Structure 1
């Protein structure tokens, strides 16, 4: 790496190896690292730390850390530290299989919270002090300010509050990303908060770099490593059908005058179904749209390139390797159309409500009345976490949840009598879409919501079974508002655990 990426002579003098940097992290520390959905996470120091932890364990020493990030990261961070049994506590979101296994085995404590809450809860002191921050950047300016890389996440908070700071300067990241970021320093603690002056998706309200107290920087590490996100599979027929139902609904809302012709700012979760929806929007004639979301994935990059999307605001990327190369190749084009913000702004509930976002997120299951479980399998086993879906679902103009109607080769129904875990209550869910149809739950009391879900979303192989439960619950003498048969409400889940299928 040339010295051009580290233009501050003061910080250039602190360049050390990843191993030397990792030596600053001590057992039991709370360590806050950059990273959001496989982008912008440190590539070298976590690996060196994992090796150090493994050596300590061989020597019979206890060495684990409390780990905070923006969201999920990648094998070089979550994976390496989990395999080394180096994490005592993890928050706020993860997707790593080794970490997940340990969480569900009860050997790794996990705090699953709304992403918009992380920075403010840390500022409030709910999790104690941050001992060390490890943050990837794309470069360091002459004045020592930091050029963020492909995610910002909670980096502002980590740099502000950490006692020690380790910086990874990754020259794999495009130099042209400089200027894409908007770091807002106007937040304050209650009761001294002021309104955030963001009125439109493309408003810039902050700075293009991150501040850091140079006295806290103990190490700078040069790296060259790619972000790691899995390639998206081509949309299957199920995803295409889900997308078609949703797009038909949005077109109907435009005709009714409830949405403008260019819709309202889009928020999209990550995955093949949201990508299929984005592709469908492009093909359906929508233009001049905007996105106010957490993550830009391949579909949004395509929409920007094709002129379908005018501007996109995010805090990180989830791009396939091919899309990453497209992004780097045409970075000047995207820098004019993408604004990257801190996580506390990208997910801020008040901004989501003010802008009127259309929120599109996945789910594990929903029940007859529209309560949604997006985190736990069979009520107990964590999958990934709530992420930012709650920030958007509760505050959006339209709260939409998308899912295939079945899982595990049809042995599990995604529509059940009662969800085994609640992340989004019926009060926060507007629309549910499966490959069989769309249930519009707006303005409906519970039993009418159940009819919509039964008629439009449930897989035919489960429809009679679920309708039978609902009819018998509705005839029961106790409680007609939200009918349930408590001895049977979770029987579908228990049947799957006992027999491998929810079918009666």
Structure 2
């Protein structure tokens, strides 16, 4: 035994990653930990990939079904995809190797709201879970598990899997103990009780994961960092988008629809999200809260400077500097951050009741406010819907943010009709680009179209959108949501044929 593996029975099951990987058989459905590159197993998947490659060299087929919390990293998704070892994957991914094989048709992929995964698994909709592989920070003397840098669907995989492999990562801060809040009150309908959470900082569960010790077939030690990457410096486009949104919040306060502490914030990951968070601090906001999925650098900054008092999430997604800052001030963050299972962090009823303000990125929006956040030209998946739909459909207000163009102006983020719909016009309240902000609340389709063209579209594309809209208004059979069906997706087709949406 050691300080990280303090349970005698589980310490006796300590094996190498290769020995653990030998327990995984072709065709198994495996629930793995991991959410946005944090808290995923790092040793066993690599050993499994080597085993699969050896099997393929012998002419044997070897692939498994993989279910996670969200995206993982090259050491999991990447190596297994490259080895041809993934038959099916859900619910969210970001690895280039995996994405290429999904879009190439070699891997089946199910994109699903992150808030739905745990309950769909519990209901049996996703089939049997043969094995769980879960990274933890430590195993306590009584067998309880100290979670790692993400909680995700770990509770569900540990509960439902027939067998369990635990990977203890010595690189994860031992001082994280006490930061997590794992709620064990969920159940199948009709025996559900209300979730007793009324504030993002409420602790309603316990700081540990539980596992049936008889199901644990192996314990593996690792010592490796999470996937970390540097965020690009906040550019002027992101700063402009943030400025428009922060000013809009000020407008809502003046109108009496928001208070000075706003409402709990949900923020996607990336440059624009960090810019918005920085803008809140620069705008003088204080005493805010967050009920979100991911803690990134910008949110650590806001906790440190007092802009955010409390943040609830299910995972981290930090840069190298963010990792160092987190470790340096972990005692502060352990009091200000609660990590929960994603079935709680993304729970529709909680998002609705807490009045969460959702702020997420998008690929494109159309004239009437429908949003595509997952596909290029309707056919190629980028990452997945993630949790954006959980917050867009159920939150107090859903804001979607994007630069007005991409590919050096060759692509407009505002088009006549989106090539794929993730969030319908009914779930979209606000669209923001560096050009401006369109408040779509209370507007008819034609009113939304005018607001989006005038406020969000890039000047290079504004006349084209206006021309399409005017002709659709004149020639469309219906006048409620005017469209020229023969032209509605012509911008995407033109891009595929010529490399630009410009006529």
Alignment-derived partner of residue 370 in structure 2: 371
Alignment correspondent of 2:401:
402
Alignment partners' CA distance in 1, 2:264 and 2:315: 17
Residue in 2 that maps onto 1:353:
352
Contact 2:476–2:483 (Cα < 8 Å) also in 1: no
> How many angstroms apart in 1 are the aligned matches of 2:240 and 2:231?
17
Where does 1:279-290 land on structure 2 (aligned, <5 Å)? 279-290=278-289
Q: Distance in 1 between matches of 2:330 and 2:102?
A: 38
The structural deviation recorded for 1:206 is 0.2
Residue 388 of structure 1: aligned partner: 387
Deviation per residue, 1:231-288 (Å, 9 max, x gap): 1111011000000000010011111111010110000000000000001101110000
* Per-residue deviation, 1:229: 2.3
1:421 maps to 420
2:302–2:308 CA contact under 8 A, matched in 1: yes
Corresponding residue of 1:344: 343
Q: How far apart are the structure 1 equivalents of 2:253 and 2:39?
A: 37
Q: Hey, what's the Cα distance between the residues in 2 that align with 1:399 and 1:149?
A: 30
Show the counterpart of 1:95. Answer: 94
- After superposition, where does 1:286-305 map in structure 2 within 5 Å? 286-305=285-304
CA–CA distance in structure 1, aligned partners of residues 451 and 396 of structure 2: 20
1:187 and 1:200 map into 2 onto residues whose CA distance is 18
Aligned equivalents of 2:228, 2:29: Cα separation in 1: 26
SS at match of 1:182: coil
Q: Secondary structure at the match of 2:460?
A: helix
Which residue number in structure 2 is paired with residue 254 of structure 1? 253
What does the per-residue CA deviation read over 1:70-94, in whole Å, with 9 as the maximum and x for residues that have no partner? 0000110001101111000000000
> Aligned partners of 2:5 and 2:476: how far apart in 1?
73
3-state secondary structure, aligned to 1:203: coil
SS of the aligned residue for 1:312 comes to: strand
Q: 1:127 deviation in Å?
A: 1.6
Query: Which sections of structure 1, spanning at least 5 residues, go unmatched?
Result: none
Query: C-alpha separation between the residues in 1 aligned to 2:328 and 2:81?
Result: 34
Aligned-CA RMSD value: 0.7
Residues 88-487 of structure 1: pairs in structure 2 closer than 5 A: 88-476=87-475, 478-487=477-486
Residue 479 of structure 2: SS of its match in structure 1? coil
> What is the rounded CA distance, in whole Å, between the counterparts of 2:14 and 2:51 in structure 1?
19
Structure 1 residue 477 displacement after superposition: 5.0
- Structure 2 SS opposite 1:324: helix
**What is the alpha-carbon distance in structure 1 between the residues aligned to residue 237 and residue 37 of structure 2?**
26
Q: TM-score, normalised by structure 2?
A: 0.99
TM-score by length of 1: 0.99
1:439 Cα deviation (Å)?
0.3
Question: 2:30 matched to which residue of 1?
Answer: 31
**Cα distance in 2 for residues equivalent to 1:229 and 1:364:** 24
1:81 matched to which residue of 2?
A: 80
Query: Measured at CA, do residues 219 and 201 of structure 1 come closer, stay the same or move farther in structure 2, by a change above 3 Å?
Result: same
Aligned partners of 1:93, 1:62: CA distance in 2, in Å?
25
- State the alpha-carbon separation in 1 of the partners of residues 52 and 236 from structure 2: 46
Query: What's the secondary structure of 1:88's corresponding residue?
Result: strand
- Is contact 2:476–2:482 with CA below 8 Å preserved after alignment? no
- Give the secondary structure class of the aligned counterpart of 1:336: helix
**Whole-angstrom CA distance in 1 between matches of 2:487 and 2:132:** 49
Residue-pair matches, total: 503
Q: Which SS does the other structure have where 2:3 is aligned?
A: helix
Give the C-alpha shift of residue 290 in structure 1. Answer: 0.2
Assess if the C-alpha contact under 8 Å between 2:115 and 2:346 holds in 1: yes
Secondary structure of the corresponding residue to residue 386 of structure 1: coil
SS in 2 for 1:202: coil
Q: Per-residue deviation at 1:171?
A: 1.0
User: In the aligned structure 2, how far is the partner of 1:218 from the partner of 1:404?
Assistant: 49
Per-residue CA shift, 1:184-221, capped at 9, x if unaligned? 00000011111111011111100110000000000001
Separation (CA, whole Å) in 2 of partners of 1:52 and 1:495: 45
Q: Write the distance in 2 (CA, Å) between the matches of 1:382 and 1:20.
A: 35
Unaligned runs of 5+ residues in structure 2 are none
Determine the structure 1 residue equivalent to 2:57: 58
Which aligned segments of 4 or more residues in structure 1 are displaced greater than 4 angstroms?
none
Partner of 1:41: 40
Secondary structure of 1:492's counterpart equals helix
Distance in 1 (CA, whole Å) between partners of 2:400 and 2:426 is: 13
Aligned equivalents of 1:97, 1:85: Cα separation in 2: 14
- Separation (CA, whole Å) in 2 of partners of 1:250 and 1:229: 32
Give the Cα–Cα distance (whole angstroms) in 1 for the partners of residues 486 and 141 of structure 2: 67
1:430 shift after superposition: 0.3
Q: Distance in 2 between matches of 1:237 and 1:127?
A: 44
